[in-house]
């Protein structure tokens, strides 16, 4: 499975949901670890588990599930707050 940068994941979510938001990058702020890549080798070794679904496909399935189990208008109404307010 390939790597997906956080910014790429954000853009995928916005594209698939049709949500528009301004992405503000703050390069002057601390970023933490330079590399945040999941290492599945221990799960493979101990459990025999490996990812079977590409990130983009899993993301689409998750969004589809979310919209199928939630009121779409209610989700849309709270999306701005959920994505930008902290």
Q: Is residue 1 situated within a structural domain? A: no
Query: Residue 12: its pLDDT value, please?
Result: 94
Residue pointed to by tokens 């290492």: 39
Q: Is residue 72 situated within a structural domain? A: yes
Q: Which residues of the chain have pLDDT under 70?
A: 1, 32-37, 85-86
Global pTM exceeds 0.75: no
Q: Is residue 18 situated within a structural domain? A: yes
Query: Residue 32: its pLDDT value, please?
Result: 64
Q: Is residue 54 situated within a structural domain? A: yes
Q: Is residue 20 situated within a structural domain? A: yes
DSSP for 33-65, written as a single string: -S------HHHHHHH-----S-HHHHHHHHHHH
Number of structural domains found in the chain: 1
Domain with 40, as residue range(s), is 6-84
Q: Is residue 63 situated within a structural domain? A: yes
Query: Residue 35: its pLDDT value, please?
Result: 58
């Amino acid at each position: 499975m390939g790597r997906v940068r956080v910014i790429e994941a954000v853009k995928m979510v916005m594209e698939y949901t049709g949500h528009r938001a301004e992405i503000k990058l703050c390069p002057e702020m601390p970023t933490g670890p330079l590399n945040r890549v999941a290492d599945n080798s221990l799960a493979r070794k101990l459990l025999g588990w490996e990812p079977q679904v590409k990130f983009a496909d899993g993301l689409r399935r998750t969004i589809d599930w979310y919209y199928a189990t939630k009121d779409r208008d209610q989700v849309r109404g709270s999306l701005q707050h959920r994505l930008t307010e902290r």
